[in-house]
Every structure is written in structure tokens, then in C-alpha cells.
Amino acid sequence: MISSQPTTAAPHVGAPVIAYIGLGSNLQEPQQQIALARTRILDHPEISEVAFSSLYHSPPMGPQDQPDYCNAVLAIYTLLPAIALLDFLQSIENQQGRVRQAQRWVARTLDLDILLYADQKIQLPRLTIPHPGMAERAFVLYPLYEIAPDLSIPELGELSQLLNHCPLNGLQRI
């Protein structure tokens, strides 16, 4: 059962939880950026891979004067609390040359987003789960569906139903 109270703790201390991570890049060899990020994520001793989607090619959100993106979704088991996972993912982004800017949706070497963390709803200044806007983003929903077609997303519903309302918008499997 999903708690309506914000939380950062794993559902059961010491028990691994499943989390879904969105990966995206549109600078400096995007496919290589994603492959390297996947390797770095899985190098963590408290993370193991459950599934990895195909790579997808998508037009950019926001400003259109930037290269297209390469996207994927990685499902993991982790012992890390959600905020610790966020910190770890942001350290990987930094290692791979991510430059944070005030403007949203600009070109980047790497973007790693926690899409889902178990069945939890988390609302913190630095982290919102389920990831905001994921229900409208083909580059998230289609790769997610590829690896978890029976997934139900807290407060959003069945993934298969979300896909019915989310056009491809130029998304192509690589």
C-alpha cells in the first residue's frame, strides 16, 4: 500500500527495493555517456541490475536548438535510501561533465533521474517521486514499458494506460 506521507526511508530496513532510473544524454557521444553511466551505477556495491531498456532517440524537450537525445531506463535493486541514491546519481552526472544551469531542458552530457523508488511517494525539496512529468514523456514511458509492462505507477495508474495517452513525439528505438 502506498503511503501518502512523504518519506526517504526504504520500506524495510536492509531489504532491497526496486527503483527505476531514467538516463538521457545529448552531448559528447550520448550512447557512450549512457553506457558509462550504467557501468558506474552498477559498480556500486548496494546496487544490482534488474533490467535495462533499449536505447531510444528523441527530440529535445524545451529549446529545439540542441542535439537530439539518447534515452534509456534502468531498473535496479538497491539498498540505498532514495536521497542517497539521488546523491550517488548526481555524483556520476558530475563525473561525466554535467553542468547545471538555471534554464531547464538545456543540452547536457548526462541526466540521471529517479523515476520510481519502490511504490513510494516522496516529496522533498531535492527529490519528487514519482518523477514529475513522467506521464507525458514518451522517452520515459516507452523504455519503461519495455522493461516493466505490468508496472503500476503510484498516483498515476497502470503504465499501459499511460501509454495510450502519450504519443511517440518522434521517439525511435535505436
Residues labelled catalytic: 98, 108, 111, 113
Cα separations in angstroms, 95 against 31, 66, 101, 111, 151: 16, 22, 16, 12, 32
Query: Cell for 52?
Result: 535495462
Cis peptide upstream of residue 167 (ω within 30 degrees of 0): no
Would residue 170 be called left, alpha or beta, if left means φ above 0 and alpha means ψ between -120 and 50 degrees? left
